Structure 1
């Protein structure tokens, strides 16, 4: 009985996140209310408060649900015992780009983040979560690049900080443009090429203090 109750509670939580994803996508984050989410999910506001503190907490859960599979792949590249950290990094980056095309849920979440999340005083908590995710992703990338340097896959002269910024710019720019104009280029077909171009550029990203 306890197991079934926990399963039902988890099912309700997922239904709320699914509903929020659809409503955020249709109306934008700032114009969405908890009542909108409750109506779409077919639950009461009380049911939402059982699982989440507020609308921003629902948004965070929606974001984390998409982030977890990416973190699982990134963990392999960060592992100092991994013999091919750069290869695992490449796989993770290609996965992110391709799944944005193939997974409607992931695409909706990215569209919400890039085009339908209006940052105002009310949504400051969302901006703070975005900053935290950026900083966490940056640190993960630093560990990966240090592993790749230790394995001789990247030059010791690599300016890691510059490479991290460049990665954020390239990945964010690719996703932003494709989500805005998906007919502009075939993201799935070009994903490996885009990632390989970035990785190849790292051999020409030396430290300012380096040779």
Structure 2
């Protein structure tokens, strides 16, 4: 990598770090590019060099959540893909472990769940890009399709509705815990949380 390209990449990361800090402190709606530029020690022009607008910057910041989650899903599916129930359980456990122990991921998830106000009249695209990962959602729904074929998906659920409930349950757990990470140990409770989730979506396939 050339020195110029390396400098540009460092500036981009500095801007993203500053955006993360500022969004955490005052919320997405109340943060302007001028605030981020000041926190990063760069000009607004430098921000526009890397990002089209605030929504594009915010979307790039969300990659700090999407990429680790996509990697978890892909690695688990590659290793346990023939056993959908085991895959889903492992994805849930590893996702909660990541939120518990990965501080950058924690900060990004806190912004998504607690600092992303829905009154974004100047930047309506922000409300459309807070879905964490379409890739991960698609892979999880495929696992529920496999479970349906295997006869282990609850009969009153479709793969799509099971995926929504899987996602919503985990998001709810994270939403609650991130309000006060000292209230209890998410890592200590994750096994019980995931077993509760799995019992609500899948049934034992008895011969």
TM range (shorter): 0.7 to 0.9
Matched residues in 2 for 1:163 and 1:119: separation?
Answer: 26
2:54 aligned residue: 55
1:100 aligned residue: 99
Q: 3-state SS of the aligned residue for 2:130?
A: helix
1:74 aligned residue: 73
By how many angstroms is 1:41 displaced? 1.2
2:152 aligned residue: 154
Q: 3-state SS of the aligned residue for 2:128?
A: helix
Matched residues in 1 for 2:46 and 2:180: separation?
Answer: 38
Aligned 8 A contact 2:19 2:36 in 1: yes
TM-score under structure 2 length normalisation: 0.84
Uncovered stretches (5+) of structure 2, i.e. residues with no partner: none
TM-score under structure 1 length normalisation: 0.83
**Alignment length, in residue pairs?**
202
1:43 aligned residue: 42
Pair 165,35 (structure 1): closer, same or farther in 2 beyond 3 Å: same
- Mean Cα displacement is larger for which, 98-107 or 45-54? 98-107
Pair 126,112 (structure 1): closer, same or farther in 2 beyond 3 Å: same
By how many angstroms is 1:136 displaced? 5.0
Q: 3-state SS of the aligned residue for 1:182?
A: coil
State the Cα RMSD in Å: 2.6
Aligned 8 A contact 2:24 2:111 in 1: yes
Matched residues in 2 for 1:153 and 1:68: separation?
Answer: 31
Aligned 8 A contact 2:80 2:87 in 1: no
2:128 aligned residue: 128
Matched residues in 2 for 1:77 and 1:153: separation?
Answer: 21
2:200 aligned residue: 201
Matched residues in 2 for 1:153 and 1:18: separation?
Answer: 46
Q: Residues 29-72 of structure 1: CA distance to partner in whole angstroms, max 9, x if unpaired?
A: 11111111111112111111111011111111010122112102
